[in-house]
Amino acid sequence: MTRLLLPLLLVLAVSGASADYDEEADLEQARQATAAFGKALKSELLTAMKSGGPITAIEVCNTQAPAIARAVSLEQDVQISRVSLKNRNPENAPSSWQTRVLEMFEARKQSGEPPNSLTWHETVPVESGHEFRFMQAIPTGGPCLQCHGVAIDPAVAEKLAAFYPEDKATGFRQGDLRGAFVVTKSLQ
């Protein structure tokens, strides 16, 4: 009897915990983390562009973007990153679920939704419990085109090749989907 009762109690405890789960709070936290990361990265990139142009901005993307992501992740108690179907850094290649969302974002954009409004989230079971997932599209802005556009200065292209020999992140036009911010949070 106790052998049957213990698993039943565990199921009820897990069900009760998930009934108390506040997905809206995690959604707001993901929005805040994305805003903090985007604001900090944009600030660093604009400062670099003003002080040394796109070549200096490339160095910021290479060194500061990962550091900013780590800092925001620690501060917000989430994991934040960037992914793209046309990634510059192989570490920013999307997983299978992220690829599906990026493709969905592209379809939504093609249907007329503004790229800066595209978000998505879900909570899914994983091996360690559950995981909250959030993605927000990153539209290509005007300043981005100096390093990600169709016509890139040869000196910039040379610097990109030195930092990112497997670069796929060129050929964008203003308003294209550059990629997405990704926020995940382990729920236990």
Which long-range contacts link 59-62 to residues 24+ away (Cβ below 8 Å)?
59/163, 61/88, 61/147, 62/89, 62/163, 62/164
The overall average pLDDT reported for the chain is 90
Q: Which has more confidence, 155 or 2? A: 155
pLDDT-above-70 percentage for the chain = 90
**Which pLDDT score, from 0 to 100, does residue 19 have?**
61
Tokens at 176, concatenated? 């294209």
Tens digit of each residue's pLDDT (9 = 90 or more) over 134-162: 999 999 999 899 999 999 999 999 999 99
Tens digit of each residue's pLDDT (9 = 90 or more) over 51-66: 999 999 999 889 999 9
Per the CB < 8 A criterion, the answer to whether 30 and 132 are in contact is: yes
Please say if the pLDDT value at position 6 is more than 80.
no
Tens digit of each residue's pLDDT (9 = 90 or more) over 15-62: 434 567 899 999 999 999 999 999 999 999 999 999 999 999 999 889
CA distances to 48, 98, 187 from 169, in Å: 19, 17, 33
Q: Quick one: CA dihedral 51, 38, 66, 163, positive or negative?
A: negative
